[in-house]
C-alpha cells in the first residue's frame, strides 16, 4: 500500500501565515497539520508515501526528511492547480503498480477508524453527514450498502453524505485510466479535474465501493476553524492522557494546553486552549485560545483567539498607574 498525500494548496484564506509557509506546516495542537496525519499513517504501518507539492513545496520536503526520515517519501510537483483529480493523475509514474492507494488530504485532520477501513477488501470512501452537502462531493448508496453514485457539488443532492478526503482505492490501475480519460477528454467540473468524477467513472466500469464513517472532520482552512481544531485536539488529548501542566515560575498554566519543551513562559497566564511551539517565548502576558508558533515572542499583552506565526514579535505596553477614587481609564 502507498499513501498519496496532496499538499499543494496555497491556503489563501490563511494569509498572511501562508505567505511564508505552506498551509500544511502551520502548527495546531503542538505540531504541524501534516504531522498529525503522518503520525496516524505510521501507527497504521504505512511508510510508502507520495506527496504532491506546490506552493513552497521545498519546505514540505525538508520537514518530511527531517521529522519523518523513516518514511520512504517521494515528491511530485503540481505546477498548475488543475484540481485534485489532476494532482492524483500526476503520481501515476511513481504510484501505479505499487498496490492499493490510500489517498488522504494533507491539510485536514480526520478522526476515523482507518485501520478498520483498511481491512475492507473493496475500495472505500470516507464520508460524513453534513447539513449542507451542496458544497461537497456527495455519495449515493444502493440498498446493499454499496456506492451507487458520486456527484461533485450537486445542486439537488440526494443524500447528505459528504466525501471528506480519505479514499482507499484497491483498483489503482482503473483509477488512473479514468483520470487519463478525464484529462484526455478535458472533462472538468467547476473548471478543474475532479477526483469525484474519476471515481464515478470507476463505478460505471463495474468497480464496487463502500463507505466508512469519519467521526471527526477538523478543518484548518481559516483562522477561526484552525483555532477550533486546536481547541478540539487539546481537549481530546486531555481526555486520553490527562497530565498536570508543566510548572513555570511566576506563571499560571490552565489546561488543556500544549507547551513545547523548548518554549519559555515568564510571569504569564497561559490557557486554556493554547499551543506554544518550540523556541517561542511568552512574557508578562495573558494568552488564551491561541497558537504561538516557533520562535515567536509575545510580551506585555493580552491575547485571545489569535495565531502568531514563526519568528513574529508581538509587544504591548506595560503601564504603571496611580488611580484615585471614582476614576475611569480606558485603553480601547
Cβ atoms of residues 163 and 149 within 8 Å: no
Going residue by residue through the chain, which has 332 residues, state the pLDDT in tens, using 9 for 90 and above.
899 999 988 888 888 888 888 899 999 998 899 999 999 999 888 889 999 999 899 999 999 999 999 999 999 999 888 999 999 999 999 987 788 999 999 888 888 888 888 888 899 998 888 888 888 888 888 888 888 888 888 888 888 888 888 999 999 999 999 999 999 999 998 899 999 899 999 999 999 999 888 888 887 888 888 999 999 999 988 776 655 556 687 899 998 999 988 899 999 999 899 999 999 999 999 999 999 999 999 999 999 999 998 888 988 876 666 666 555 666 66
Neighbours of 68 (CB within 10 A): 17
Which residues of the chain does CATH 2.160.10.10 include? 233-315
User: For residue 67, how many other CB atoms are within 10 A of its CB?
Assistant: 15
SS (H, E, C) the chain: CEEEEECCCCCHHHCCHHHCCCHHHCEECCEEHHHHHHHHHHHCCCCEEEEEECCCHHHHHHHHHHHCCCCEEEEEECCCCCCHHHHHHCCHHHHCCCCCEEEECCCCEEEECHHHHHCCCCEEEEEEECCCHHHCEEEEECCCCCEEEEEECCCCCCCCEEEEEEEEECCHHHHHHHHHHHHHCCCCECCECCHHHHHHHHHHCCCCEEEEEEEEEECCCCHHHHHHHHHHHHHHHHHHCCCCCCCCCCCEECCCEEECCCCEEECCEECCCEEECCCCEEECCEEECEEECCCCEEECCEEECCEECCCCEEECCCCCCCCCCCCCCCCC
Q: Per DSSP, what are the bridge partners of residue 53?
A: 77
CATH superfamily, region 233-315: Hexapeptide repeat proteins (2.160.10.10)
Please state which CATH number belongs to domain 2-218: 3.90.550.10
Give residue 246's pLDDT.
Answer: 66
Q: Which residue has the cell 506552493?
A: 55
CA dihedral 295, 296, 299, 304 (to 10 degrees): -140
Measured between alpha carbons, how far is residue 131 from residues 120, 128, 164, 192, 237 in Å? 28, 10, 14, 25, 27
| Res 206: pLDDT | 92
What's the pLDDT at 169? 94
Q: How far apart, in whole angstroms, are the C-alpha atoms of residue 215 and residue 161?
A: 12
- 246 Cβ neighbours under 8 A, 6+ residues apart: 253, 259
Where in the chain is CATH 3.90.550.10? Answer: 2-218
Q: Looking at residue 52, what is its pLDDT?
A: 96
Q: pTM of the entire structure?
A: 0.86
Distance CA 313, CA 279 (A): 13
Residue 153 CB neighbour total at 10 angstroms: 15
Amino acid at each position: 500500500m502507498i499513501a498519496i498525500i496532496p499538499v499543494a494548496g496555497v491556503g489563501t484564506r490563511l494569509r498572511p501565515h501562508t505567505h511564508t509557509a505552506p498551509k500544511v506546516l502551520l502548527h495546531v495542537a503542538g505540531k504541524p497539520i501534516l504531522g498529525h496525519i503522518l503520525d496516524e499513517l505510521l501507527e497504521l504501518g504505512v511508510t510508502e508515501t507520495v506527496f504532491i507539492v506546490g506552493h513552497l513545496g521545498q519546505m514540505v520536503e525538508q520537514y518530511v526528511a527531517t521529522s519523518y526520515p523513516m518514511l520512504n517519501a517521494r515528491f511530485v510537483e503540481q505546477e498548475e492547480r488543475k484540481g485534485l483529480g489532476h494532482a492524483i493523475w500526476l503520481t501515476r509514474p511513481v504510484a501505479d503498480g505499487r498496490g492499493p492507494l490510500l489517498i488522504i488530504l494533507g491539510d485536514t485532520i480526520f478522526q476515523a477508524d482507518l485501520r478498520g477501513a483498511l481491512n475492507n477488501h473493496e475500495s472505500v470512501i470516507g464520508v460524513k453527514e453534513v447539513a449542507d452537502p451542496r458544497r461537497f462531493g456527495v455519495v449515493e448508496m444502493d440498498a446493499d450498502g454499496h456506492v451507487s453514485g458520486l456527484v461533485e457539488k450537486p445542486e439537488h443532492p440526494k443524500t447528505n453524505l459528504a466525501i471528506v478526503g480519505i479514499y482507499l482505492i484497491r483498483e489503482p490501475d482503473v483509477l488512473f485510466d479514468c483520470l487519463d480519460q478525464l484529462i484526455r477528454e478535458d472533462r472538468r467540473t467547476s473548471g478543474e479535474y475532479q477526483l469525484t468524477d474519476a471515481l464515478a467513472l470507476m463505478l460505471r466500469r463495474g468497480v464496487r465501493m463502500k463507505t466508512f464513517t469519519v467521526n471527526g472532520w477538523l478543518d484548518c482552512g481559516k483562522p477561526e476553524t484552525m483555532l477550533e481544531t486546536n481547541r478540539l485536539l487539546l481537549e481530546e488529548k486531555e481526555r486520553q492522557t490527562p497530565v498536570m501542566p508543566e510548572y513555570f515560575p511566576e506563571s499560571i498554566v490552565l489546561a488543556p494546553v500544549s507547551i513545547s519543551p523548548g518554549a519559555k513562559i515568564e510571569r504569564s497566564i497561559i490557557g486554556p486552549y493554547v499551543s506554544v511551539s518550540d523556541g517561542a517565548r511568552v512574557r508578562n502576558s495573558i494568552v488564551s485560545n491561541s497558537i504561538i508558533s516557533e520562535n515567536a515572542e509575545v510580551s506585555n499583552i493580552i491575547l485571545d483567539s489569535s495565531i502568531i506565526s514563526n519568528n513574529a514579535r508581538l509587544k504591548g505596553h506595560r503601564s504603571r498607574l496611580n488611580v484615585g477614587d471614582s476614576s475611569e481609564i480606558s485603553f480601547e
